[in-house]
Amino acid sequence: MEDISNPPSSDLPTTTTLPTATEINPLTSTPSRRMAGRVEWPTIDGPLGLSHQDSVAYARRFFNFGFLCLPFLWAVNCFYFWPVLRHPNAHQSHPEIRRYVVGSAIGFLVFAVILSSWSLTFMIGGNRLFGQVWDKLVMYNVADRYGLTGLI
């Protein structure tokens, strides 16, 4: 997770001077943690990501679309707005964004639990637990039955 942190000495730089060549490498910089514990950027991309105003719309959109059987979208939502999750008491962390992101996180966890429990039961239980239905449901038989691998 890469965040960009602004230099603590954020005096207003004069535009006449050249920008100093101190470059923060996003790959190696530490997560954004300003001195006051503020979240400078709501997204994980830092200054490359969204501003605070746009983030609300995106967070809401991701959250709503996730209800279309898209828990992965909730996971992406949490990943994208990780700083918001991470610093709940930050000064700039909008409560609106946080609401959606937390909702996405909860939804993803619930869905993941359900799906993994079903899937693991299926895999481990196998024939003994399900009987005939197992052979009907397992994917490689379904693929053979419908010739799915011959489409291309």
Partner 1 sequence: MDQDSKPRSILETLGEELVRIITPVSICMLLVVILVTVLNTDSEGSSIDPSFTTIATIAYSESSSDSIWDKLKGALLNSLVFVAVITVVTFLLVLLFYFRCTKFLKYYMGFSSFLVLGFMGGEIALFLIQDFSFPVDCVSFVLVLFNFTVVGVLAVFMSKMAIFVTQAYLVVIGMLVAYWFTLLPEWTTWVLLVAMALYDLAAVLLPGGPLRLLVELAISRDEDIPALVYEARPVINIDSSPTGDVLQRRVWRERRNTGSALDENSDARPNFDPSTSPVTNSNTTPGTYLSVGSGENEINLVNAEEGQVFRGDSELAAPLIQHRINVRMNSEEDPSPSENFALEGIGLGSSGAIKLGLGDFIFYSVLVGRAAMYDLMTVYACYLAIIAGLGATLILLAFCRKALPALPVSIMLVYEVRPVINIDLSPSGDVVQRRVWRERRNTDSALDENLDAWPNFNPTTSPASNSNTTPGTYLSVGSGENEIGLVNAEEGQVFRGDSELTAPLNKHRINVRMNSMEDASPSEKFALKGIGLESSGAIKLGLGDFIFYSVLVGWAAMYNFMTVCACYLAVIDL
User: In the range 44-73, which residues lie near partner 1 by CB under 8 A?
Assistant: 44-51, 54, 58, 69-73
Q: Are 99 and 62 in contact (CB under 8 A)?
A: no
Q: Are 131 and 138 in contact (CB under 8 A)?
A: no
The two tokens of residue 21 are 């060549």
- Nearest distance in Å: CB 88, partner 1: 20
Question: By CB under 8 A, how many residues form the interface with partner 1?
Answer: 56
From 42, 48, 51, 37, select the one nearest 93 (Cα to Cα): 42
101 binds partner 1 (CB under 8 A): no
**Span between the terminal Cα atoms of the chain, in Å:** 38
Interface residue list for partner 1 (CB under 8 A): 2, 4, 6-7, 10, 12-13, 15-16, 18-27, 40, 43-51, 54, 58, 69-73, 76, 79-80, 115, 118-119, 122-123, 126, 137-140, 142-144, 148-149, 151-152
